[in-house]
Amino acid sequence: MATADDGPRRRGRRPLDRQAIIDAALELIDENGIDGLTMRNLGRRLGVDPMAVYGHFEDKAALFEAVVDHETTRLAAVPGPLPDDPTEIIVRVGLHYRTVLLDHPNLAPQVAGRPLPQEVRAGPVTLSLDLFRAAGVADEDIPRVANALTRFALGFVVREAAEVAYWAGVDDADQLRRARLAERVDELDLRAAAHNLDPDQTVLDFELGLRALLHGLGTHRSHLPA
């Protein structure tokens, strides 16, 4: 058992390496959004002087980049076994992206706003040239098709995460904003706010959109007007 007075959060239990700091940073971001990550909060959570973190990261920006990189890396780890059909593989990758981004919705915009090296090269599954070729995409269309799919998948989920956070009233410090939200919910009929907040519905929307996009991109060499 730990002694009673070795710090507010039992410091020393974890030896304060980079991973322990990244994990604590993710906790703070999950709990209070991106602004919840402050060097002082981080020190308190780790049971350590705030300045101790500077021994492992040059500054807050470097720490934050490491946190985002940590999540970006997870995007490449698509769980198997995988289907044979290339189209189905692409759908699976898309659904996996969504799952990873929603694990830390407050960080989703940052993860999605960054290039994804792993989707190009490393990792067990990659959106590779060969995959798109196997799916029947002509070589010269691949960058465009890859762009459309990537931006659809990441953009969809970022907006999903942001909407959920917004309606939930992220920084619910003031009741006034909530009251205004309630009004707006009543205004919405077409958008069907309730529909948007149900994860079981949203994942279906996501898969529908992804398949429709794949189908639309695949059946026509170009949808652009002459």
Partner DNA sequence: ACCTGAACACCGTTCAAGT
DSSP secondary structure letter of residue 35: G
Q: What does 138 interact with, of its own copies, DNA, none (CB < 5 to 8 A by kind)?
A: none
| Subset of residues 175 to 194 that bind DNA, contact rule: CB under 7 A | none
Q: What does 117 interact with, of its own copies, DNA, none (CB < 5 to 8 A by kind)?
A: its own copies
Binding status of residue 16 toward DNA by CB under 7 A: yes
Q: How many residues bind DNA (CB under 7 A)?
A: 20
> Of 9-17, 73-81, 100-108, 181-189, which part binds DNA (CB under 7 A)?
9-17
Of 131, 54, 49, 55, nearest to 89 by C-alpha is 131
Q: How far apart are CA 98 and CA 91, in angstroms?
A: 11
Q: How far apart are CA 153 and CA 145, in angstroms?
A: 12
Side-chain half-sphere exposure of 215, counting CA atoms within 13 A: 6
Smaller CB separation from DNA, 52 or 68: 52
Residue owning tokens 């009741």: 175
| Subset of residues 24 to 83 that bind DNA, contact rule: CB under 7 A | 37-41, 43, 48-52, 54-56, 59-61
**Which residue type occupies 38?**
T
Binding status of residue 14 toward DNA by CB under 7 A: no
Smaller CB separation from its own copies, 20 or 165: 165
Q: How far apart are CA 147 and CA 106, in angstroms?
A: 24
Residues found near DNA in the complex (CB under 7 A): 11, 15-16, 37-41, 43, 48-52, 54-56, 59-61
